[in-house]
Structure 1
Amino acid sequence: RDPQKTIPAMQQKLEDFREYRRVRKPPKVQEKCQLEINFNTLQTKLRLSGRPAFMPSEGRMVSDIGAGWQRLEQAEKGHEEWLLTELRRLERLDHLAEKFRQKASIHEGWTEGKEVALRDRDSGTASLAQVRALLRKHEAFESDLAAHQDRVEQIAAIAQELNELDYYDSPSVNARCQKICDQWDLLGSLTHSRREALEKTEKQLETIDELHLEYAKRAAPFNNWMESAMEDLQDMFIVHTIEEIQGLIAAHDQFKSTLPDADKEREAILGIQREAQRIADLHGIQLPSNNPYTSVTPQIINSKWERVQQLVPKRDQALQEEQNRQNSNEHLRRQFGSQANRVGPWIQTKME
């Protein structure tokens, strides 16, 4: 009994056996019958002639031939049963092998491109809303991945059954199954890593978003304060007395006393932006070009602050010059008053 690897080969063996039954065996049946007839005829003739019966040598008696023939019949029956059983086994193997190939091909088609997609670090340039969308998409993929777990288990079970049934091409089946299982484990690991990366990026972007919002809340009033300050520093003034100019100088001095605190606020606001940028640089996140909550950029703040710094000494100079003019005018007024007081009585006397 020589098992074959393929159904056609096994079918050929079965056909060869049937041909033996149809073609090669019948002449032997006739030979056996003829041999029995000849033996019986010989014995009859010997008995009628009064001669002793013919005794064949051991193992060649008719009973021996009959027993050997019976063993042959049993062997033929066992061989035919083995051929049919082996053919059914090969048919089962062929069905399982085709089922394995189909399921493996479907799974391999589904996994195509998944590893590359899971390794993609597209969240590095995404906004908070985009990362949240990527997380929802990833959750859907995780559900799909879990649904395919059953197919992978079926593939492994079929491969195991093919091994147990001694499939001739088991090495290639085992190699393909192992590759699928290894890739499945890798996909599971990459899926877990991508979820962790997305959740981590989401938290980082939430922190950056909170910093952007805080920046906007503080930058807007500070920007308005600087614009008002620039308007005040460039405001034209008309005064007629020393008291009026002294009031303006006092107000200006009061304004200058607030500049250190204002500078601290400016540094704090810019520090918020720097912190957001530091977090982004640390984790490889690309910030949007503009703060989503305000159009006031650090460049605008610095530019306006620099303008305020330039206007302050100009205002100092203008106020000082006006104070000098008012002091001069006051001196002239007093001088005029003194002279008028001396001349006035003389004029009055002359008029009288």
Structure 2
Amino acid sequence: MSSDQLQEDYESLCSELLLWIQQTITMLNDRKFPNSLKGIQDQLLAFKNYRTVEKPPKYKEKGELEALFFTIQTKRKAMGRKPYVPPAGLFMHDIESAWALLDHSENDRQLALMRELRRQERLELMAQKFERKAGLRDAWLREMSSVLQDFDLGRNIAQVEASLKKQQAIAADILPRVRYSISALIFLQLFLW
């Protein structure tokens, strides 16, 4: 293959690799994660796929580009020609710099995914805890409701006063629980949905 054809191949492959690196960096820098544990687990699987399936062939291409560049320089030297100078932005150091940025973005993505995973796990635990407490409160409210439905006001003033005190005690017990349930629902709506 002629030196000129090798140079064209080098420039084409180099441009394609740099484009892939730039697109991948953009993807890796995206921090719009799904707001669910399952969603972030899927993102982690996609990231693992990138590292184990998608990136290794590109790393191999990078090595082949270095070898191609060396071959071009060797052929030109053997023919007594000046060393090959690629177009601006297509030097090997440009690829090395872009690859270093890719590695940095990859590391940052992994850290961000792990932070988000921990956050989603905490939210999931809080939601489960809330569900347990909500179930207990619902059972308690049903019990209080049945107590109030069977409520006997009494036949004389002493029975009425006793019934009133019982009703006030139940109301005092219910109000904080209702407030807690409402605030917990607001919390869940704000942070989970």
Task: Work out the number of aligned pairs and report it.
Answer: 163
Question: Structure 1 residues 84, 38: CA separation in 2 closer, same or farther (over 3 Å shift)?
Answer: same
- The DSSP-based 3-state class of the residue aligned with 1:53 is coil
Hey, what's the Cα distance between the residues in 2 that align with 1:77 and 1:18? 12
Partner residue of 1:100 out of 117, 125, 130: 130
For 1:265-292, what per-residue CA distance to the aligned partner results, in whole angstroms no more than 9, with x for missing partners? Answer: xxxxxxxxxxxxxxxxxxxxxxxxxxxx
- Counterpart check, 1:134 vs 2:137: no
Q: Offset of 1:164 from its aligned partner?
A: 4.6
For 1:85-143, what per-residue CA distance to the aligned partner results, in whole angstroms no more than 9, with x for missing partners? Answer: 222222122112112222222112111153565477732x5234433543454465356
Question: What's 2:11 paired with?
Answer: none
Q: Which residues of 2 match residues 1-352 of structure 1 at below 5 A?
A: 1=30, 2-112=32-142, 114-115=144-145, 117-118=147-148, 122-123=152-153, 126-135=155-164, 137-138=166-167, 140-141=169-170, 145=173, 149=176, 151-152=177-178, 154-165=180-191, 167-168=192-193
Q: Offset of 1:18 from its aligned partner?
A: 0.9
Question: Structure 1 residues 122, 105: CA separation in 2 closer, same or farther (over 3 Å shift)?
Answer: same
Question: What's 1:263 paired with?
Answer: none
How many percent of aligned residue pairs carry the same amino acid? 34
**Structure 2 letter corresponding to 1:126:** R
For 1:221-245, what per-residue CA distance to the aligned partner results, in whole angstroms no more than 9, with x for missing partners? Answer: xxxxxxxxxxxxxxxxxxxxxxxxx
- The DSSP-based 3-state class of the residue aligned with 1:16 is helix
Hey, what's the Cα distance between the residues in 1 that align with 2:190 and 2:169? 37
Which ranges in structure 2 are unaligned for 5 or more consecutive residues?
A: 1-29
TM-score normalised by length of structure 2: 0.68
TM-score normalised by length of structure 1: 0.40
For 1:50-109, what per-residue CA distance to the aligned partner results, in whole angstroms no more than 9, with x for missing partners? Answer: 201112223222122112212221221222222222222221221121122222221121
Hey, what's the Cα distance between the residues in 2 that align with 1:110 and 1:83? 40
Hey, what's the Cα distance between the residues in 2 that align with 1:126 and 1:24? 83
Does the CA contact (< 8 Å) of 2:77 and 2:83 recur in 1?
yes
For 1:166-194, what per-residue CA distance to the aligned partner results, in whole angstroms no more than 9, with x for missing partners? Answer: x12xxxxxxxxxxxxxxxxxxxxxxxxxx
Which ranges in structure 1 are unaligned for 5 or more consecutive residues?
A: 169-352
Hey, what's the Cα distance between the residues in 2 that align with 1:137 and 1:120? 13
Hey, what's the Cα distance between the residues in 1 that align with 2:115 and 2:186? 21
Does the CA contact (< 8 Å) of 1:11 and 1:87 recur in 2?
yes
Question: Structure 1 residues 155, 95: CA separation in 2 closer, same or farther (over 3 Å shift)?
Answer: farther
Question: Structure 1 residues 121, 155: CA separation in 2 closer, same or farther (over 3 Å shift)?
Answer: closer
Q: Which has the higher contact order (CA 8 A, sep 6+)?
A: 2
Q: Flag the structure with larger Rg.
A: 1
